Amino acid sequence: MDLLSDLTAAQREAVTHVDGPLLVLAGAGSGKTRVITRRVAYLLGRGIPGRRILALTFTNKAAGEMRERITSLVPDHGVWVGTFHAICARLLREFGPRIGLDRGFTIYDQPDRLRVIKSVMEQLDLADSGVAPEKVEAAISRAKNDMLDPESFLARRGDGADHVSAVVGRVFKTYQLRLLESSAVDFDDLLVHVVSLLRGDRELRAKLDDRYRYVLVDEYQDTNVAQYAIVRALSVDSPNLCVTGDPDQSIYGWRGANLNNILEFEHDYPECKVVRLELNYRSTKNILRVADHLIRHNRRRKPKELTTGNPEGDPVELTTFASETDEAQSVASTIADLVREGEYSYGEVSVFVRVTALTRGLESALRSLSIPYQVVGGVSFYERIEVKDTLAYLSLLNNPKDNVAFLRAINAPPRGIGKVSLDRLLAFARGRGIPMLAASRDAASVAGLSPKARSGLRDFALLMDELGALSDHSAEEVTRRLMSLSGYRDYWANQPKGDGEDRVANLDELVSAARQFDLEHPEATVLDFLADVTLSSAVDRWKDEGGAVTLMTLHAAKGLEFPVVFIVGLEQGLLPHSRASESDAELEEERRLLFVGITRAQKELRLSHCRIREFRGQRSVAIPSLFLGELPEGPIVYRDRSGMDGETTLASRRIGPRPDSSRASRPAEPPAPSGSGFRLTTAASLGGGGRSASTVDGPGDDLAAFRPGVLVLHPQYGLGKITAIDGAGPNRKGRVAFAVGGERTFVLSKAPLRPVKGA
Ligand SMILES: Nc1ncnc2c1ncn2[C@@H]1O[C@H](COP(=O)(O)OP(=O)(O)OP(=O)(O)O)[C@@H](O)[C@H]1O
Ligand SMILES: [Mg+2]
């Protein structure tokens, strides 16, 4: 195949650029990923050996697609194509010992990490500190992404470190020690350790710089400090670094991604070549107009035209539903219609949500119409207990020091070894400076164990020895044998009906996954299988089955494309997310997230929101997303399917973002956050629906107006209902259940709450 014939002149320019830094800066759907794949094939065609090329992306799914495309162009290429995390894991297996890391280290995923953090918090008596382990976990992860160790984390916080930072700092330190003693690293460490290696070992840096002479990075706008450092370190002596990206699609700021990495590429490499791709090849004109109009509301961006030579296409649909159930049912029946009419297959349709919890309702609607679907990023296969238990055995085989894996496997199936016995075992192991598995072999010497615990521990150690003898067998065989020898499969098979069956089916599925892995990687060991499974993120587990509707979060959808896209739940608190209402920067990231969602659609785009949403067990009135007020009228048809006019109180009044037609033409103006104005009118004005308005009171209300049942508006949390009032006078407190974001309590005389009149 001719590598260049179906490329535009600009794309060709990027593909054929061989030496020196290259920046491809271009909008969504303009062929950036295509340029990366073609460029790899082109370099190979120029005689550059595959092992000198490194192609990096963010998800295994994207990496897999890229590898496939390259292989179809050049079989046996030997190019390393993968995610940042995967390449780092590989480098650490090779060079980890230089920084004191065992070659057989274990990789802890997010639930493993949370488990260790919880146990560290118990150990440090911080379980009741009022700081949630999840919060500590997020802070530690964020610190690592910013390349901070426990000491620099605390130093940066200064002497006046607040309570939360102080707790995080203490846990962080002990957590790192725990990892070290178990010969384990978490996902973030994979990057951090490689950065330390490259910084601390000049000879190694030069060696790797030379080994990977050509480095290509897709979606560069989402790189964080550590990823940036790695890419930079590999491109000093041979700066043949090619990065592609779109600043308008930067959506990982909350996880430490730094937009400046791409904005300052030209500064980092003054001699770099910059290629801009002009045309979008993915979407219809109508879809692109909606995306373009929306993103212009971001102030922090370089203006950029989004155009396409594709047809006009159907108008984008925006629908208001009465409730989330109606919304889900309508999405399901619309999908059924589209497929029945023969226009699309299920696999060509995707539904995006802001948070995974929203998929449940959609799932039941799809199921009731027998529509096949798959959820990307929900409780996925690899997070199921039975699968994780089995993988714990593999981890322990790989790394006998891994106490987390030990603690998981030891009672799977239950062996009657309780927490007290395990605590004693741990104390014994610590005392001797040995791992728990080794201590089990010597269970007879551990004080205070019951005979049952003693024999259970010894048998377990023997089992592990037996399994260890199989380590050079195929992944499938080791997996199958461990399930039978441990009695784990039988344990589930003998459970009363229902639960057990499902789990046995999943165990069998894991054996098939291992078999598949053996076929695809003939040289690999069970250890590689384990690494592969641990590293695959939610998106990566998404099998392209062709015949199923995909449900996924907007974050997971990055880089993908679908003929038909639904985006549901366009409501305040969801999108923009309530968490993101604190600053303009966060609001802009939410806007980019919606922009990413819109630009995934090739032919049809359907947006929707509800008047009432039940979410996390709370049924409340929902305010349309302020972003809906920022969409253009022309390419959109608006439908009000709520049918609630005159029937309910507030729901009949179309509460929505303040329409400000002047803003569309003056995009530089910052968007008004929802609820900052007290006159709220309807999103229906977008598409010729009724233009009713509801008025919300301004300041100065008598506190007496706050009674249980009264609807109130909060500038940050949006609309809610008072569920309880407590106390009297200036300290009177009110509990408010918000449409989204849960319940909160306020001191009424101080809170910026307004009763909504006429409700
Ligand atoms: N020159 C071209 N001719 C025809 N189709 C093209 C051309 N360039 C790209 N495409 C197609 O356009 C679509 C978008 O391309 P690609 O995914 O590479 O864009 P992208 O810039 O990476 O998008 P995103 O920013 O969303 O990641 C793909 O289906 C691709 O095959
Ligand atoms: Mg892309």
706 vs 695: CA distance, rounded Å = 17
Judge if the beta carbon of residue 410 lies within 6 A of ligand 1: no
Assign residue 163 the CATH number of its domain.
1.10.10.160
pLDDT of residue 712: 76
Looking at the predicted structure, is the pLDDT value of residue 684 above 70?
no
- Of 33, 244, 319, 572, which is the active-site residue? 33
Instruction: Calculate how far, in angstroms, residue 285's C-alpha sits from the geometric centre of ligand 1.
Output: 15
Q: In angstroms, what CA-CA distances link 181 with 174, 234, 597? A: 11, 30, 43
Residue 241 pLDDT class (50, 70, 90 cuts): very high
Q: Is residue 241 assigned to a domain? A: yes
3-class SS string, 210-231: HHCCEEEECCHHHCEHHHHHHH
Mean pLDDT of 73-96: 89
Looking at the predicted structure, is the pLDDT value of residue 663 above 70?
no
Q: Is the model more confident about 746 or about 326? A: 326
* Residue 534, marked binder: no
Q: What share of the chain is helix, strand, coil (3-state, %, to 5)?
A: 50, 15, 35
Q: Is the model more confident about 716 or about 252? A: 252
Mean pLDDT of 242-251: 94
pLDDT of residue 687: 29
The atom number, within ligand 1, closest to the CA of 11 reads 1
Looking at the predicted structure, is the pLDDT value of residue 231 above 50?
yes
Q: Which of 162-171, 261-270, 617-626 has the lowest mean pLDDT?
A: 617-626
Residues belonging to the chain: 759
Question: Which of 141, 160, 182 is the last residue in one of the domains?
Answer: 182
pLDDT of residue 532: 76
648 vs 671: CA distance, rounded Å = 30
Looking at the predicted structure, is the pLDDT value of residue 62 above 90?
no
Question: Which of 518, 535, 552 is the last residue in one of the domains?
Answer: 535
Judge if the beta carbon of residue 7 lies within 6 A of ligand 1: yes
Examine the domain organization and report whether 372 and 387 are in the same domain.
Answer: no
Q: Give, for ligand 1, the residue of 1, 33, 595 to mutate: max count of ligand atoms closer than 8 Å to Cβ.
A: 33
201 vs 189: CA distance, rounded Å = 17
Mean pLDDT of 695-717: 63
Q: Is residue 670 assigned to a domain? A: no
Q: Is the model more confident about 661 or about 431? A: 431
Examine the domain organization and report whether 437 and 513 are in the same domain.
Answer: yes
Note the pLDDT tens digit of each residue in 537-573.
444 444 444 488 999 989 888 889 999 999 999 999 9
* Residue 291, marked binder: no
Mean pLDDT of 455-467: 94
Q: Which of 32-36, 51-55, 672-676, 751-755 has the lowest mean pLDDT?
A: 672-676
Q: Which of 137-141, 334-338, 354-358, 616-620 has the lowest mean pLDDT?
A: 616-620
Neighbours of 566 (CB within 10 A): 27
Looking at the predicted structure, is the pLDDT value of residue 638 above 80?
yes
Q: Which of 245-254, 714-723, 747-756 has the lowest mean pLDDT?
A: 714-723
pLDDT of residue 616: 63
Q: Is residue 196 assigned to a domain? A: yes
- Of 144, 600, 603, 653, which is the active-site residue? 600
Q: Which of 185-194, 274-283, 400-409, 655-664 has the lowest mean pLDDT?
A: 655-664
Q: Give, for ligand 1, the residue of 34, 59, 555 to mutate: max count of ligand atoms closer than 8 Å to Cβ.
A: 34
Q: Is residue 16 assigned to a domain? A: yes
Residue 291 pLDDT class (50, 70, 90 cuts): very high
**551: which strand partners?**
351, 375
Residue 130 pLDDT class (50, 70, 90 cuts): confident
530 vs 112: CA distance, rounded Å = 15
Looking at the predicted structure, is the pLDDT value of residue 666 above 50?
no
Percentage of the chain exceeding pLDDT 70: 86
pLDDT of residue 410: 94
Examine the domain organization and report whether 76 and 214 are in the same domain.
Answer: yes
Judge if the beta carbon of residue 718 lies within 6 A of ligand 1: no
Neighbours of 587 (CB within 10 A): 22
Examine the domain organization and report whether 443 and 517 are in the same domain.
Answer: yes
Annotated active-site residue 33? The verdict is: yes
Assign residue 510 the CATH number of its domain.
1.10.486.10
Q: Whose CA is nearest to atom 11 of ligand 1?
A: 281
pLDDT of residue 701: 44
pLDDT of residue 422: 93
When the pLDDT of each residue in the chain is averaged and rounded to a whole number, the result is 83
Judge if the beta carbon of residue 256 lies within 6 A of ligand 1: no
Q: Which of 294-298, 373-377, 631-635 has the lowest mean pLDDT?
A: 373-377
332 vs 354: CA distance, rounded Å = 18
pLDDT of residue 716: 64
pLDDT of residue 757: 47
Examine the domain organization and report whether 445 and 531 are in the same domain.
Answer: yes
Examine the domain organization and report whether 89 and 39 are in the same domain.
Answer: yes
Residue 698 pLDDT class (50, 70, 90 cuts): very low
Annotated active-site residue 218? The verdict is: yes
Looking at the predicted structure, is the pLDDT value of residue 659 above 50?
no
Looking at the predicted structure, is the pLDDT value of residue 369 above 50?
yes
Q: Is 31 exposed, middle or buried (0-12, 13-18, 19+ CB in 10 A)?
A: buried
Residue 246 pLDDT class (50, 70, 90 cuts): very high
Looking at 569-676, which runs of residues are DSSP E strands?
A: 601-615, 618-621, 636-641
Residue 729 pLDDT class (50, 70, 90 cuts): confident
pLDDT of residue 59: 77
Task: Indicate the number of domains in the chain.
Answer: 5
Note the pLDDT tens digit of each residue in 97-107.
998 888 888 88
* Residue 29, marked binder: yes
Ligand lying nearest the CA atom of residue 15:
1
Residue 497 pLDDT class (50, 70, 90 cuts): low
Q: Whose CA is nearest to atom 30 of ligand 1?
A: 31
Q: Is residue 2 assigned to a domain? A: no
Note the pLDDT tens digit of each residue in 27-61.
999 999 999 999 999 999 999 999 999 999 887 77
Examine the domain organization and report whether 70 and 203 are in the same domain.
Answer: yes
Note the pLDDT tens digit of each residue in 381-430.
666 788 889 999 999 998 899 998 999 999 999 888 988 999 999 999 99
336 vs 696: CA distance, rounded Å = 40
pLDDT of residue 678: 24
Q: Whose CA is nearest to atom 13 of ligand 1?
A: 282
- Residue 257, φ and ψ in degrees, nearest 5: -65, 145
Examine the domain organization and report whether 148 and 131 are in the same domain.
Answer: yes
Mean pLDDT of 629-655: 66
Q: Is residue 165 assigned to a domain? A: yes
Residues spanned by the domain of 155: 106-182
Q: Tell me which residue of 356, 252, 296, 358 sits closest to 608, measured CA to CA.
A: 358
pLDDT of residue 499: 62
Examine the domain organization and report whether 619 and 553 are in the same domain.
Answer: yes
Examine the domain organization and report whether 215 and 248 are in the same domain.
Answer: yes
Instruction: Calculate how far, in angstroms, residue 33's C-alpha sits from the geometric centre of ligand 2.
Output: 4
Looking at the predicted structure, is the pLDDT value of residue 623 above 80?
yes
Q: What is the DSSP code (8-state) at residue 572?
A: T
Which stretches of 524-608 are DSSP H helices?
526-535, 584-598
Question: Which of 535, 558, 590 is the last residue in one of the domains?
Answer: 535
Kindly write down the DSSP assignment for every residue of 695-745, as one continuous string: E---S---GGG--TT-EEEETTTEEEEEEEEE--GGG-EEEEEESSS-EEE
Instruction: Calculate how far, in angstroms, residue 211's C-alpha sits from the geometric centre of ligand 1.
Output: 30
Q: Is residue 585 assigned to a domain? A: yes
Mean pLDDT of 473-486: 92
Assign residue 21 the CATH number of its domain.
3.40.50.300
Kindly write down the DSSP assignment for every residue of 438-467, as one continuous string: HHHHTGGGSTT--HHHHHHHHHHHHHHHHH
Note the pLDDT tens digit of each residue in 205-218.
999 999 999 999 99
**56: which strand partners?**
82, 217
Looking at 6-86, which runs of residues are DSSP E strands?
A: 22-26, 53-57, 80-83
pLDDT of residue 55: 95
* Cβ–Cβ < 8 Å for 483, 504: no
Looking at the predicted structure, is the pLDDT value of residue 530 above 60?
yes
Annotated active-site residue 540? The verdict is: no
pLDDT of residue 533: 77
Instruction: Calculate how far, in angstroms, residue 312's C-alpha sits from the geometric centre of ligand 2.
Output: 23
* Residue 578, marked binder: no
Residue 159 pLDDT class (50, 70, 90 cuts): low
pLDDT of residue 680: 27
pTM above 0.90, yes or no: no
Annotated active-site residue 65? The verdict is: no
- Of 59, 106, 227, 249, which is the active-site residue? 249
Judge if the beta carbon of residue 66 lies within 6 A of ligand 1: no
Residue 456 pLDDT class (50, 70, 90 cuts): very high
* Residue 443, marked binder: no
Ligand lying nearest the CA atom of residue 24:
1
Instruction: Calculate how far, in angstroms, residue 264's C-alpha sits from the geometric centre of ligand 2.
Output: 20
Examine the domain organization and report whether 314 and 407 are in the same domain.
Answer: no
Looking at the predicted structure, is the pLDDT value of residue 287 above 80?
yes
* Cβ–Cβ < 8 Å for 170, 147: no
Judge if the beta carbon of residue 282 lies within 6 A of ligand 1: yes
Examine the domain organization and report whether 211 and 148 are in the same domain.
Answer: no
Looking at the predicted structure, is the pLDDT value of residue 534 above 60?
yes
Q: Is residue 731 assigned to a domain? A: yes
pLDDT of residue 381: 61
Token readout for 649 is 């109180």
Reported as type and span, the H/E element at residue 239 is none
